[in-house]
Amino acid sequence: MSLAFIFPGQGSQAIGMGQELAQAFASAREVFQEVDDALEQKLSLLMRDGPEDQLTLTENAQPALMAVSLAVMRTLEKEFGVNIGRAAFVAGHSLGEYSALAAAGAISLSDTARLLKLRGQAMQRAVPVGQGAMASLIGPKTDLALAEAAAAAGSEVGVCVVANDNNSGNVVISGEKAAVDRAIEKAKELGARAIPLNVSAPFHCPLMQPAADEMARALAEATFKAPGAPVVTNIQAQPTNDPEVLRRLLVEQVTGRVRWRESMIWMAGEGGVTRFAEAGAGKVLTGMAKRIAPDADAVSLNAPADLESFAKSL
């Protein structure tokens, strides 16, 4: 069995996430405290009690989701003896790539928390509220070619690109609102359903360049080490161990496409991965894994019982 740990992105957050882990394991509580200390913010209380509109803010959701993922990983290691060395690869969806890097020891937990706080703030600053938009194109006819055609139609009136190639039947577009609206019309003509997303900014598109510039400056000052497992990156959909390449790709990722479908296909194919374990809040990536790589096993790890049964199965 070849194992890959995968880490969720924004949208998986929910009030109460990580609380079962915190109640059951001191190692999880340590992670949440370290993140609180790094941010000089009681993020763990916000995660536990809300309000939801504050947790959903990008600058809070991003470090919070990372904290839950890292609480899972530290608990697996400290309580069950399962360390990152058991994985052939790690990968994360958008902000989840930071979780993957932290889990693999490439960036410290405190640095990762601060970088994600800044990433959320920088993305929010990059485009005034209401000027950008994102939409999910879904349905059996939806594939990358259809999404590219819809984005091309949108590009006739403004910036519009494919932001997330999640899986066949689920592709996200992003850009200026008028352009995304035009792309939605085209997608419907082509036979897809289109759902406008309730997001605060148009992520993973060229409008995020000011945020990419901010992250380039911050990442240049962060300490990177070789990860304990190769990281299959969003930008390349290929693995790398090179700290400087990982640093550069995190900058490119702010404006670039999340090539998740390709990443999963590579891991399940050339990478030989037969089991995907989603470490963190929710089960979004587990569902995607089952659609993209149906021959592989996929499990979500976010409750104490999940961790125990997973450790016993190894």
* Single pTM value for the model: 0.97
Active-site choice (94, 99, 136, 174):
94
Q: What is the mean pLDDT of residues 165-169?
A: 96
**Does residue 94 carry a catalytic annotation?**
yes
Beta bridge pairs of residue 276: 4, 298
Mean pLDDT in the chain? 97
Residues in contact with 53: Cβ distance below 8 Å, sequence separation at least 6, in sequence order: none
In CATH terms, is domain 132-199 a member of 3.30.70.250? Answer: yes
12-30 tens-digit pLDDT: 899 999 999 999 999 999 9
CA dist 98 → 20, 93, 154, 297, 301 (Å): 23, 9, 31, 24, 18
CB 277 within 8 A of CB 4: yes
The CA dihedral of 275, 95, 110, 247, to the nearest 10 degrees, is: 90
What's the pLDDT at 180? Answer: 98
The predicted model gives 302-312 an average pLDDT of: 96
CATH tag, 3-126+207-313: 3.40.366.10
Our answer to whether residue 309 is catalytic in this structure is no
Phi-psi region at 24: left, alpha or beta (left = phi > 0; alpha = psi -120 to 50): alpha
Given the residues 93, 174, 204, 263, select the one marked as catalytic. Answer: 204
- Structure token digits, residue 311: 């450790």
Q: Where are the domains of the chain?
A: 3-126+207-313, 132-199
* 145-154 confidence digits (pLDDT tens): 999 999 999 9
Q: Is the pLDDT of residue 281 over 90?
A: yes
Q: Among residues of the chain, what percentage have pLDDT more than 70?
A: 100
Which of helix, strand or coil describes residue 42?
A: coil
Measured distance CA(63)–CA(270) in Å, rounded: 32
Angstrom distance (rounded) from CA 265 to CA 77: 27
